[in-house]
Structure 1
Amino acid sequence: MTIGAPTDNPDATATAPQSGYGNKVLAVEPGGNEPIPLDARHGNPRGLFWTWTAPNLEFATIFVGVISVLYFGLSFWQAVAAMAIGNLLGAAAHFLLSAEGPLHGVPQMVLGRLSFGHRGNVLPATFMAVMCGVGWFATNSVSGAFALSTLFGVTPLLGLVIIVVAQTAFAFFGHNLVQRFERIAAPVLAVVFVIAAVIIFSKSQVSTPAADGGFSLGGFLLTVGAAFGYTAGWTPYAADYTRYLPPTVSRLQTGLFASAGLFISCTFLMIVGAASVTIGDPTSDNPTEAFTANLPTAVADLTLLAIAVGAVAANAINVYSGAMAFVTMGFRLPVGIQRALVTVFFGVVGFLVAWWALADAAASYEAFLLLVAYWIGPWLGVVFADRLLRKEPPSLALLYDTRYTNWGGVAAFVLGLVASVLLFCNQERFVGYVVRAVPELGDVGAFVGFVIAFVAYLILARRRVEESQRQYA
């Protein structure tokens, strides 16, 4: 079958609405989760560096570093090591998944049908749509709202409305405008945050020992998990932003530029966040105001504006890919504008969730980071086990065959998720049974979930993968 061509399945659509979209920027991206035809492919892997740099130059990234020292009790250098490990693991997964996008030109959640089957894939697609498309949207909107509130003296609610309208508008237009906005925003945001970082490091006390004067394995593993939850939280989106690239581009470059932008931006700002805590105790309950309190007024104002723009950069991607996941679940909507309609829906829902979270942003964010990691770990375990078993590139026909099932993948995912949460979860409302006995484990639920799901898939789905390769050869 021709790469990028639609199948005879109605889900793949015979009209290929993206054919007239090309590289237009101020045009609403048509269609939903169809494969991108060859005449609509454009771009090069280098642009992915900016695509994945801009959305992480925002306060949610900084706050991972803040909680590693302030809440998890690590010293600055312990936090740096833990965050680097978590980010490296997340970026490695992003490398592999991004490289898959150009082959067939389909979204990441459509590729997920290989591992879960057409109907079974609804489960991880639902997790992504709700926890990433709505949860991350709300989380980043809150930081942007606080930044505008501090900068202009408006209420956080009004700041939230401004942020939500801006980011939903970018996502409504779709892929090309989102990519262009990230490319423009990234270098501007980088300059502002580098200036802020220089000042913060000049005032920081990075040699200050950990809260308990030693090394906390539990705090270290909690930080690894939180950093991984943040960085790997982008992996279910990976192919969404490489599917428009021509199928002839280098897989190595595609994965490298995407993962490099992710790793560098996340690690840089998380380290800045950790350093900011060593200056002194927070001076405000408003997290963005507390972060900028030690900066000169002009730099503080620029940083607050950058935080707001960064929130829009992150959520333009969040709501776009959340909508892609929702469409992949199989809901029948007008083909030409289905993704755009769902984008508006997620903007409304995300606004309501963010409004609710304004009251206690810090606690909500800490819990959310680990919740994301709980499902991402088993999902990655299943996806990577499937890729290991497949000897040939996947068939486009299989991806859109509604009759294709792979219940072994669903079972492996559920087993990894449930077992890891029950045994290794470390949340305020629930602590896993193993962690209760060994508190020093911190929270390794995501990594245990990955291993369980990976091994379970190799056992439960091996035969199904072999059958599907023969059937769609």
Structure 2
Amino acid sequence: MAAQTGAIEKRTIDRIPEGERHGSPFNQFTLWFGANLQITAVVDGALSIVFGAEALTAIIGLAIGNLLGGAVMALHSAQGPRLGLPQMISSRAQFGVKGATLPLLLTVVMYLGFAATGTVLSGQAINLMFGVENPAFGMIAFGLITVIVAVVGYNLIHVIGRIATVVGILGFAYLAFRLLGQYNVADAFGQKPFTMATFLLAIALGAGWQLTFAPYVADYSRYLPSSTPASVTFWSTLLGSAIGAQIAMTFGAVVAALGGKFLANQVGFLGELAGPGVAVLVYVVIVTNKLTVNCLNAYGGSMTLLTTVSAYAGQRSVSQAARMAYILLFVAGSVAIALFASAHFLSAFKNFMLLLLAVFVPWSAVNLVDYYLISKEKVDVPALYDASGRYGAYNWTALGCYLFGVLIQIPFLNQALYEGPIAKMLDDADISWIVSLVATSVIYYALARKSANVPGEMILPEDRTARA
């Protein structure tokens, strides 16, 4: 069956047949470049300065974090062409068909939080573009655009990613030109002494940013032909994501170090920096690039909801109508949070999202160790939809290791909502994600390799049908 590139996407949680595979690995580069070269990544870079880092220290730390976290995230992306499955469906091989529900539900919460904060920023930009004062106008308009793109699905999302890449490069190049013309950028550097704590914090900000994409990155590579080399998918994803994020974060670190008012009014500051007559184009850049990542949130969030529900309903596929309904439900929820929550609540909710990062590092460790080191890319795909099959309903070894990976981070955490005792001993350095990634990987490998139920070869739905 030929790929239907112009139609509304029909696939959801089921495997993409080989006849419908299409696209180029370069599309992974442009999608993740466009999704990362955006205003929230600028804020993430600025936070490194707010938390005490010197500008050059922050930029180097953010780069290391983007590369390390991006490499972990790209390893998940490389699973897409091989399995042809949404990311969270494949995690049933580790946690069990129903056991995967725990990380799934936490993923949905993360999606909602990031989608809501992104809707607020994009809504502000839309209001400024059209001279509207009512905040609801921009946020609802942005939500409607998100629904349309997410419903059309995979192919249009990749098109938006390519547009966002071009628009983002032009927009940020112009903003950098304006920044150089209005400020003495050299003044941003050397303001504070180097400290290991702030350096590690900058690394954590970069790595944490990249790791948030891990639960859904394979959703956007699963249509690639299965013959696509894993290394090509890996590098296309890593370079797109890390370079896009690093450009935005570097800009944010420099702006914050120069003492601008960016953090007080992110959208307004960028509009003023652009200057009269050009500000509206900068607002277009903000909306376009936020639309890319918000569609990832809506698409992935609805897919995650479908994955959760289907585990208990015993479904192997979902209708197109159900897919649309879940997308609409998700976007309506994120817009409602953006509309009715106070600014204080959104700030607290964003901090909660950052704390939630602690739950994705051990999930990522379990998934990657199992896929690359234990099962060695051999998965029984039909069993992922059968709670009484090879992977069972719950895998208590994986769930136990996952909970261990969450709990071991507590003493090392340094978040807005909580700071652990070891983080205080380390002068506020947060190395929780490193500790969890290493410890969870080691203990899961030691326990799971003895009891893993690995097929002798990859089993696809068509294989099971032929044998039946």
TM norm structure 1: 0.88
Q: 2:77 aligns to what?
A: 98
Could you give the per-residue CA deviations for residues 264-293 of structure 1, whole angstroms, max 9, x where no partner exists?
110011101111123334178322112443
RMSD over equivalenced CA pairs, Å: 2.4
Equivalent-residue separation in structure 2 for 1:85 and 1:353 (angstroms): 34
Q: Does 1:452 align with 2:439?
A: yes
Which residue identity is paired with 2:399? V
Equivalent-residue separation in structure 2 for 1:224 and 1:356 (angstroms): 34
Q: Is the 1:326–1:342 Cα contact (8 Å) retained in structure 2?
A: yes
Could you give the per-residue CA deviations for residues 360-383 of structure 1, whole angstroms, max 9, x where no partner exists?
488447625632421221111111
Which residue identity is paired with 2:364? L
Q: 1:416 aligns to what?
A: 405
Tell me the SS of whatever aligns to 1:469: coil
Q: 1:468 aligns with which of 431, 454, 458?
A: 454
Distance 1:283 1:321, change over 3 A: closer
Q: Is the 1:128–1:236 Cα contact (8 Å) retained in structure 2?
A: yes
Which residue identity is paired with 2:43? F
Equivalent-residue separation in structure 2 for 1:280 and 1:141 (angstroms): 26
Q: 1:401 aligns to what?
A: 386
Q: 1:137 aligns with which of 89, 102, 115?
A: 115
Could you give the per-residue CA deviations for residues 300-359 of structure 1, whole angstroms, max 9, x where no partner exists?
332122112211111111110111111111334853333222111100111122224561
Q: 1:9 aligns to what?
A: none
Q: Is the 2:189–2:257 Cα contact (8 Å) retained in structure 1?
A: no
Q: Does 1:322 align with 2:301?
A: yes
Q: Is the 1:170–1:316 Cα contact (8 Å) retained in structure 2?
A: yes
Tell me the SS of whatever aligns to 1:260: helix
Structure 1, unmatched stretches of 5+, are 1-18
Mapping 1:128-207, distance limit 5 Å: 128-132=107-111, 134-154=112-132, 155-202=134-181, 203-207=183-187
Tell me the SS of whatever aligns to 2:13: coil
Distance 1:23 1:45, change over 3 A: farther
Q: Is the 2:351–2:415 Cα contact (8 Å) retained in structure 1?
A: yes
Equivalent-residue separation in structure 1 for 2:42 and 2:346 (angstroms): 12
Identity value in percent: 29
Which residue identity is paired with 2:122? G
Which residue identity is paired with 1:394? V
Equivalent-residue separation in structure 1 for 2:345 and 2:23 (angstroms): 38
Equivalent-residue separation in structure 2 for 1:350 and 1:97 (angstroms): 26
Q: Is the 1:233–1:372 Cα contact (8 Å) retained in structure 2?
A: no
Distance 1:142 1:157, change over 3 A: same
Q: Is the 1:101–1:108 Cα contact (8 Å) retained in structure 2?
A: yes
Mapping 1:14-93, distance limit 5 Å: 22-25=3-6, 27-69=7-49, 71-93=50-72
Q: Is the 1:206–1:278 Cα contact (8 Å) retained in structure 2?
A: no
The count of residues paired between Structure 1 and Structure 2 equals 447
CA deviation after TM superposition for structure 1 residue 121, in Å = 0.9
Q: Is the 2:30–2:162 Cα contact (8 Å) retained in structure 1?
A: yes
Q: Is the 2:378–2:457 Cα contact (8 Å) retained in structure 1?
A: no
Equivalent-residue separation in structure 2 for 1:29 and 1:123 (angstroms): 27
Could you give the per-residue CA deviations for residues 32-84 of structure 1, whole angstroms, max 9, x where no partner exists?
20001122111121121111111122211111111111x21212101101110
Q: Does 1:390 align with 2:371?
A: no
Q: Is the 2:365–2:437 Cα contact (8 Å) retained in structure 1?
A: yes
Which residue identity is paired with 1:141? T
Q: 1:431 aligns to what?
A: 419
Which residue identity is paired with 2:455? Q
Q: 2:230 aligns with which of 211, 231, 251?
A: 251
TM norm structure 2: 0.88
Which residue identity is paired with 1:181? I
Equivalent-residue separation in structure 2 for 1:238 and 1:198 (angstroms): 33
Equivalent-residue separation in structure 1 for 2:458 and 2:16 (angstroms): 20
Q: Is the 2:98–2:387 Cα contact (8 Å) retained in structure 1?
A: yes
Q: Does 1:121 align with 2:100?
A: yes
Q: 1:267 aligns to what?
A: 246
Which residue identity is paired with 2:420? G
Structure 2, unmatched stretches of 5+, are 460-468
Q: 1:380 aligns to what?
A: 364
Distance 1:429 1:258, change over 3 A: closer
Equivalent-residue separation in structure 2 for 1:369 and 1:55 (angstroms): 18
Q: Is the 2:175–2:273 Cα contact (8 Å) retained in structure 1?
A: no
Distance 1:198 1:372, change over 3 A: farther
CA deviation after TM superposition for structure 1 residue 166, in Å = 0.8
Q: 2:207 aligns with which of 221, 225, 228?
A: 228
